[in-house]
Structure 1
Amino acid sequence: MSVTSTMQSAVDEAFARRDRAGRVLAGDSGRIARMCQDMAARFHRGGKLIVFGNGGGGADAAHIAVEFMHPVIVGKRALPALALSNDAATFAGVSNREGIAETFAHQMHRWADPADMALGISRDGRCANVLRGLEMAKMLGLLTGALVGGDGGPIARSPATDHVLTVASDDPAVVKEVHVTAYHVLWELVHVFFEQSGSLHAGTGGEASG
């Protein structure tokens, strides 16, 4: 096999891995729609979105917060959101005194109101501090959601997580890339439901019917 054909094969496989994972998530359209409708209902009632994750997940949390707070599409309404991962000093201080597992739960307890939403991001669903953040959020009455990968880990199986979107891949690069697509879709569809406020009271068995 020539160098050219070997490289072409590698490129094809790289795109195929991403395509497979993306198609699996797209096939979960009903779950995505319910999550977006429930989030829109919370925003409509004055809630804010609190996002958090470690490393690349923390960067994604910051990205999500700014997408909602400062939409790149002219005419879209800014919706309140904050990323707990942005405050390095607080993260380090809590970690030093209470342990890294409490970094997000500690902040959640101080920042959150019952009308809010919590969205945790974890590449493999096994980040203890993300799970603790979601557990604290659930205890406080927030709507909770998670973006995870692989088999979803403990986060996907936790009763503290109302909505879970799982990227069916163990490749961290693929999970990261599909997460970006997923939260762009979340942003877009939350606005669709928010702008059609009648749909928030149509009754879906979730937040929107409350």
Structure 2
Amino acid sequence: MEKIIQEALHESIRAKEEFISQNAANLILLTKKIVSAFNHDHKLMICGNGGSAADAQHLAAEFVNRFILERPPLPALALTTDTSILTSIGNDYSFEEVFSKQIKALGQEGDVLLVISTSGNSANIMAAVKTARKQGIYAVGLLGNDGGKLANMVDLALTVRHSLTPRIQEVHIFCGHMVCQLVDYLLFQKNSEPE
């Protein structure tokens, strides 16, 4: 069993290293887009399904509460948390619309939407991106495998090129944490550093 543990560890490390080597510039771009939204009184909306829904909630909590720094709350919203809204839309319309209807109601031009999908092919996530783009919302995909259909639908795709869902999810939360740290740096640390 130790061998299984060591193999999983090394696989996870390799997946993170490959992701960063391919996406460091995109991580910085995403960070700057979020900072710009926050600086202009806009918000970050995040959504995903299953484990990615949990990641959406986790990252929203890091922004609204705090990540590492003690700092003011930042406007982030997971679209995965209100069971009354989710089940109402799913029951009255379809599961495909559970995020897009929330974006229609809450999204504004200048906001950022971060979608998290290990396959890149979830119908409700694609509907969310279509709605966001129609409303002038910058759409970013944190994706897996080859990025799926979403890779060509979003404004910015950050893709974990791996076939195992657990490794993709591990990189996704690492990426989310990096964005939290970089946003905090740009908003609250960069200008206070000595030259």
* TM-score (ref. length: structure 2): 0.91
Distance 1:81 1:38 in 2: 13
Matched-pair contact (CA < 8 Å) for 2:71–2:188 = no
Correspondence list, 1:93-108, <5 A: 93-108=88-103
Return the letter of the residue paired with 1:23.
Answer: E
Which residue of structure 1 aligns with residue 36 of structure 2?
A: 41
Conserved in 1, the CA contact under 8 Å of 2:67 and 2:180? no
The reply on whether 1:168 has 2:168 as its aligned counterpart is no
What is the DSSP-based 3-state SS (H/G/I as helix, E as strand, rest coil) of the residue aligned with 1:183?
helix
Q: Which of 97, 121, 124 is 1:129 aligned to?
A: 124
The CA distance in 1 between the partners of 2:139 and 2:105, in whole Å, is 17
- Quick one: which of 11, 18, 24 aligns to 2:12? 18
Q: Alignment partner of 1:51: what SS?
A: strand
Residue 11 of structure 1, CA deviation: 2.6
The residue that corresponds to 1:184 in the other structure is: 177
Partner-residue secondary structure (3-state), 2:29:
helix
Match of 1:147 in 2: 142
Q: Does 1:67 align with 2:62?
A: yes
Q: In the alignment, is the contact (CA less than 8 A) between 1:103 and 1:129 conserved in 2?
A: yes
Is the contact between residue 140 and residue 157 of structure 2 (CA under 8 Å) also seen in structure 1? Answer: yes
TM superposition score normalised by structure 1:
0.85
Instruction: Tell me how far apart the structure 1 counterparts of residues 107 and 155 of structure 2 sit (CA, whole Å).
Output: 17
Contact 1:41 1:194 in 2 (8 A): no
Of 32-41 and 189-198, deviating more is: 189-198
For the 8 Å contact 2:48–2:125, the answer to whether it is kept is yes
- Report sequence identity in percent: 30
Q: Counterpart of 2:98 in structure 1: which amino acid?
A: T
Work out which of the two has the higher radius of gyration on C-alpha atoms and give 1 or 2.
Answer: 1
Provide runs of 4+ in structure 1 moved above 3 Å.
195-198
**Runs of 5+ unmatched residues, structure 2:** none
The aligned amino acid for 1:166 is: T
Q: Residue 205 of structure 1 aligns with which residue?
A: none
Q: CA deviation at 1:177?
A: 1.2
Deviation at 1:100, TM superposition (A): 1.1
